[in-house]
Amino acid sequence: MAEPWGYPEDPYDALGVSPLADAEQIHRAYRLQARRYHPDTNPGDPEAARRFAELTTAYELLRDDARRRGYDLRRAVAHGPRAARSAPGPTGNTSVRGPDARPSHHVRETLTSAPRTSGDELAVVRTLAKVGVVFVIVVALAILAMSLRQPPACGPTTGQPCRVVESPAGG
């Protein structure tokens, strides 16, 4: 049965390894299977030649990190989250998830996402309350600063005339 990505079967199943297998495990599994199904050890057996070609295709896909990562993504989309790796594999790909996977804990806002409606009114009220509190604090600090400054020694508010001090140079 052909899979949606164009390979005859799952490369992990073809090599007999887990999707969590590292590069060394994949290489060992390929070498073992390739020796078993190589056309030189099975002359005239078309099934062995077909199996060897399948193993080689699977190994070529899984040994290249970029191709393996792309395959894992297509596999997760086609078969859902159960087909995806549950832990970061040797390619470091942790974002392999299917359409039914749990949502990420990271908040991502996109231009295509619908605007939030629930809680918007409450957020506006909270913001206005914060601005109001900051304004009251600033006004209170200004009043406190004005009340703590020294009153002028002379002027129209004190009723005492201010004296003009002449410069010592006599000018």
Show the domains of the chain with their CATH numbers: 11-83 (1.10.287.110)
- Give the predicted TM-score (pTM) of the model: 0.45
> What mean pLDDT is reported for the chain?
77
pLDDT at 142 over 80: yes
Please provide the size of the chain in residues.
171
pLDDT given for residue 2 in this prediction = 47
Tell me the average pLDDT across 128-149. Answer: 94
Q: Which of these ranges, 9-18, 34-43, 55-64, 80-89, has the smallest mean pLDDT?
A: 80-89
pLDDT given for residue 109 in this prediction = 56
pLDDT given for residue 132 in this prediction = 96
The CA distances from residue 19 to 66, 78, 84, 137, in Å, are: 15, 15, 8, 60
Residue 150 φ/ψ region, left for φ over 0, alpha for ψ in the -120 to 50 degree band, beta for the rest: beta
Tell me the average pLDDT across 6-15. Answer: 76
Cα separation of 14 and 61, whole Å?
12
